Amino acid sequence: MMKKNVGKTDMIVRLVMAALLVIVYFIGVSKILGLIFIILAIILAVTALTQTCPLYYIFRISTLKKKE
């Protein structure tokens, strides 16, 4: 299991972006673009809710606040 590496602000931004992509999907876009938006929205929502991002893990990035 991967360590958490997504902070609170990052999590909120990801959830807002996912919601916007879903809204744009329902407003009406082409089928292919709509499918891409829904897939991106799912990825953003899952990474936000699990607070883990595989790309952050690969590049050793973390937006979590350091515990002191």
What does the pLDDT read at residue 65?
86
Give the pLDDT confidence score for residue 68 in this predicted structure.
Answer: 58
Q: What is the DSSP letter of 64?
A: S
pLDDT tens digits, 13-55: 999 999 999 999 999 889 999 999 999 999 999 999 999 999 9
Each domain of the chain, given as residue ranges in start order, spans 8-58
DSSP structure class, residue 33: H
- Give the model's confidence band at 58: pLDDT under 50 very low, under 70 low, under 90 confident, else very high: very high
- State the pLDDT at residue 5: 94
Residue 14 and residue 44 in contact, taking contact as beta carbons nearer than 8 Å: yes
Q: What angle is formed at CA 55 by the lines to CA 46 and CA 21, rounded to 5 degrees?
A: 45
**Span between the terminal Cα atoms of the chain, in Å:** 24
The enclosing H or E element of 43 equals helix 31-50
